[in-house]
Structures are given as C-alpha cells and as structure tokens.
Amino acid sequence: MIPINAPQIGKEEIEAVVKVLKSGILTHGLGAGPMVTQFEENFANFMKAKHAIAMNTGTGALHSTLAAIGIKHGDEVILPSFTFVATAEAIVIAGAKPVFVDIDPETYNISPEKIEKAITKKTKAIMPVDLYGLPADMKPIREIADKHGLKIIEDAAQAHGASYKGKPPGAFADAACWSFYASKNMTTGEGGMVTTNDDEIAETLRYMRSHGEKEKYQSLMLGHNYHMPEMEAAIGYVQLKKLPKFVAQRRENARRLTEKLKKSKKLQLPKEPEGCRHSWYLYTVRMKNAQRKQRDKIVEELKQKGIGAIVCYMNPIHLMPYYRKLGKYRLPETEKAANQVFSLPVHPGVTKEQIDFIANTVLHLLS
C-alpha cells in the first residue's frame, strides 16, 4: 500500500533521541528544557516570527492560544466547518461557541466574504485554516478583523513550508498554531507549536503550558500541562532542517501528478493561487458533478489497488452529532466538497514510478 502520508525518519532523528536519553533530561518543570528551547528558537527563525512556544499537541496549541487571547464563555469564534474537528473542539473547550461559515469552492479555505456576514456583537476571533497546506486568503481576513476589532488565530497545522504573499503562515495573524502529528510535513510524533509576534500572547502561553506557572509552585493563572518532551523536540529540531527538502519533493510529486491527471475532464485539480505557495500536505482532487457514492467507489477501488487514497473531510464539523447541538448551518459549498473530494499520496517517500502508477490508475478508473 502506498500510504497517504509517512514520517520520513532517518538516523539523524534516532541519534538525536539517543542523545537526549543519555543526557537524562527528558522534560522540564516549566516546559522549557534545553532541546525544547533550541527547537523553539529555530522554528521561530524559520517562520520569521518573534516567538515560538512548543506544546504537546496541535490541539493544545489551539486551545491555549484561544485562552491566551481572552476567549471565554459566551464568546463566538468564526471558523470553517470543512476541517479537522480539533479546530472547533478547541473553541468549545475554551468555553466559546464555534460559528461555522462556508468555503471557497476552488481553494476549500474559508471564504472571507462569508466571514463578515457571520460577525455579531459576541464575535471575538476568526480561525482560518490553511487546508491541505494551502494558506487561507489572509489579507482580506486581516482587514475584516481590524475593522471589527477581532483577533486572528491561524490554524496552520497542515502548512509547514507554505507561504502567503512571500511570508510564512502566521504573518497576517495574531498567532499561528502548528501540529507535528506523525502525518504532517515534519513530525515529532505528536507535538505542536504556536508562533506569534505578540509579546503578551507569548508570555501568557508559556505560563499556560505549565499550570499557569512563571516559577515552580507559583501559579499566576489557570493553566494546563501542555509540555513538549525533550525527545520530541530533538526529533523536531532535525526534521525542521529537512523540511525544505521534504516540501520540494512534495512539490515535484504534486507537479508530476497534475501533469498526468489534467488529461481527465472529470477532475478538478488543486490550484496554487497567485501569491500562495502550497505545502502539499495533501494533494486533493475533486470529482466534478459526482455523488458521494461515486466518489467513495473510486476511493475504495484505489485502496484495493494499493493506493492509500483518503477523504478529508467527508463529514463537515457542523454535521457531526455533537456539533449539531450548537446550531443549524446552511453551508452548500462545504457539503458539496465533502461529497466530491479525495486525496492522493505525494509525500517525499512516493517515487516517480509510484506517482505514475497513481495517476494511471485514477485515469483508468475514471474512464
């Protein structure tokens, strides 16, 4: 089976973990061990951000950032429904209400014009998602946020190596949240990070990730245990050095796949809008005018032939049983995309021959 994603782990990562084990420093009471600190500094430099704060997961990064900007019970946060559930989950855990809006059918990212229509007196923040690794259209979102006095938390969990108007994700946001889950463009196994240029947000996040402590046993605020272990930071430190090469290979695989698949008139292929640089976390195609059953049949046939095609996300959040309780939404573009898209492997471990096999198999099944 050609997996949809696969961690690219080499001897350098193994040696880095062994070095941590031999050091005897596996974690730190305030979440700022030597390896974590080094990883944070390098990640901040890579993302051209003033601060990077390591967390145990991307979900922990989202939740703590919402709390750090003051989101509380009764507040509303605007986000897309066409994303992984963690984005909405973090809002609910913070005590606020997620308000779902529709997507752009070409990029699958949140539609800026839909955002403004959803703003109320209770709205306190916007959470755009860089879906599949393509940055959201952040400039108009920033303008909307400034107009209404709102904060922006960019969910960049899938966008390692992407850019928007020549800048890394987070440049137009108050903070960006990252995931280092095993499937991501770079990994620490689990793990997350927040990048920000805001000194106050950064300071609050450092307290929050360690039970609200500035010093041991001196809690200044309500916090949590969101520490990243030293072994994970060691892996991340090495992976970050490899990230440009990983993304370059993803780009080449995506280019080759597009060149082959453009022969089919039945597919809408992924686009890279002007001013955007895709990270190609997922290469997502769309079956034009298809019903869900037709799409699902193709995906199942691809799996039977050894191609790890998947659907992200077949169940939009607003239609999930738990989130239905929070309100009814009419999101036609979101629901249509959920019935028609599927993703194909383009990770660095996929060879040219496998890309050709994937493309030829898709074309054969569609014909």
Given a cut of 90, is residue 62 above it in pLDDT? Answer: yes
pLDDT at 291: 96
Q: What is the pLDDT of residues 252-300, one digit of tens each?
A: 999 999 999 999 999 999 999 999 999 999 999 999 999 999 999 999 9
Q: Are 153 and 266 part of one and the same domain? A: no
- The per-residue pLDDT for 89 is 98
Give me the residue label for tokens 């989130």. Answer: 323
CB atoms < 10 A from the CB of 304, how many? 8
Under a CB-based contact definition with an 8 Å cutoff, are residues 177 and 61 in contact? yes
233 and 254 fall within a common domain: no
Residue 112: per-residue pLDDT: 97
Q: Cα-flanking dihedrals φ and ψ of residue 13, to 5°? A: -65, -40
Of the candidates 210, 238, 266, which is a domain's last residue? 238
Residues 224, 273: one domain? no
The number of domains in the chain is 2
Query: Phi-psi bin for 282: left (phi > 0), alpha (psi -120 to 50), beta?
Result: beta
Question: What digits encode the pLDDT tens for the residues 294-349?
Answer: 999 999 999 999 999 999 999 999 999 999 999 999 999 999 999 999 999 999 99
Q: Which residue type occupies 154? A: E
22 pLDDT tier (thresholds 50, 70, 90): very high
Pick from 237, 234, 240, 211: which is nearest to 31 by CA?
211
Whether 359 maps to a domain, the answer reads yes
Q: Percent of the chain, pLDDT > 70?
A: 100
Average pLDDT value over all residues in the chain: 97
The confidence band for 74, taking pLDDT boundaries of 50, 70 and 90, is: very high
pLDDT the model gives residue 29: 86
Domain boundary (217, 238, 259) is at: 238
Cβ atoms of residues 210 and 31 within 8 Å: yes
Helices (H), the chain: 11-23, 34-46, 58-68, 86-93, 112-118, 138-148, 199-208, 230-261, 292-304, 321-324, 332-340, 352-366
pTM of the complete model beyond 0.95: yes
DSSP secondary structure letters along 83-103: S-THHHHHHHHTT-EEEEE-B
Is residue 5 in a domain? no
Instruction: Give 143-202 pLDDT, tens digit per residue.
Output: 999 999 999 999 999 999 999 999 999 999 999 999 999 999 999 999 999 999 999 999
Residues 218 and 255 in one domain: no
Whether residues 60 and 151 share a domain: the answer is yes
Q: How is residue 210 written in tokens?
A: 């360690």
Q: For residue 209, give its domain range.
A: 11-238
Q: Are residues 177 and 66 in the same domain?
A: yes
Based on the fold, state whether residues 46 and 162 are members of the same structural domain. yes
Q: What is the CATH number for 56?
A: 3.40.640.10
